[in-house]
Amino acid sequence: MDREKIGKKLTELRGSRSRKEVADNIGVTVSALQMYEKGVRVPRDETKERLAKLYNVNVGELFFDEKLHKTCGEGA
């Protein structure tokens, strides 16, 4: 898990939303969100789930660089 890479993903996904808006939505302080986005800290599992839900992405893709694979038609 690359903290810097995670931070960049979080910042990109936040887009034009303010840090305060996102922090309020996921139940953390603006300071904590800023540390996640700068790669200083990694959020707890509950916060990872809230971030993924807010940004409508998979937790594995966001924090563990896992890609969702199609199973139908591949490798046949």
pTM: 0.81
What's the total number of domains in the chain?
Answer: 1
30 is a domain residue: yes
Nearest residue to 59 (alpha-carbon basis) of 18, 10, 22, 20: 10
Asked whether residue 37 is domain-assigned, the answer is yes
pLDDT at 71: 45
Please report, for the domain that includes residue 24, its CATH number. Answer: 1.10.260.40
d(CA 56, CA 4): 21
Q: Is 67 a member of any domain?
A: no
Which segments in the chain show pLDDT lower than 70? 65-76
In a domain, 12, yes or no: yes
pLDDT of residue 19: 98
Q: SS3 for 44? A: coil
Q: Residue 30 belongs to what domain range?
A: 3-60
Residue 8 lies in a domain: yes
pLDDT number for residue 57: 92
Q: Does 73 fall in a domain?
A: no
